[in-house]
Amino acid sequence: MFNLEGTPYLLDSTSLEQVRHRMDAIEEHVSLLRKSGTLSEKTIRDYYGQKRFEQVAESNALEGSTLSVGETELAVLKGVTITGHDPAFVRDAIALDHALNRITDLARERDTPTNIEQLHEIHSLLLGDRLGAGIFRQECVTIRGARHTPPKNWDQIMSRQFRQLNWL
């Protein structure tokens, strides 16, 4: 079996079936949320509020951050540099928290579909004043240790983006 990019799946058939079953359940929940009108404060709080700093810490750890969940919470809430850690990790934690908050705001706007401008806005929040913030990159990149290859050009980006939007 292959994914949308034509790469073989890494899971055995039993595990893949379990993932598909879980994805079906998630899709059903998303559908119910969409049909209900707007995401309630309770729904947002249950999903994001309790896991907020864990989500930020774990996501940034993928990029090399050494901040724990507690240190991430302190960095985001107080904006302080954590002794013994690269100050960039604090900046990245704050940036990701801002982006996730904006995504949460966008999720509440049921009548406004996600658009390219919003993607640029989120990207800009994530990267801040770094080169390339808020725009699609123009050069090819690779991800060390990953079998996935990011899109090589604008046409591939848009093709995958439209596939994603149609899947939702």
Domain assignment of residue 73, given as a range? 39-167
CA pair distance 67, 138, nearest whole angstrom: 31
* Neighbouring C-alpha atoms within 13 Å toward the C-beta of 60: 33
Full-prediction pTM beyond 0.75? no
Structural tokens at position 165: 């939007």
CA distance 162 to 168: 10
CATH number at residue 105: 1.10.3290.10
Q: Which helix (H) or strand (E) holds 62?
A: none
Residue 9 lies in a domain: no
Q: What is the pLDDT of residues 44-97, one digit of tens each?
A: 666 666 688 998 999 999 889 999 999 999 999 998 889 899 999 999 999 999
Count of structural domains within the chain: 1
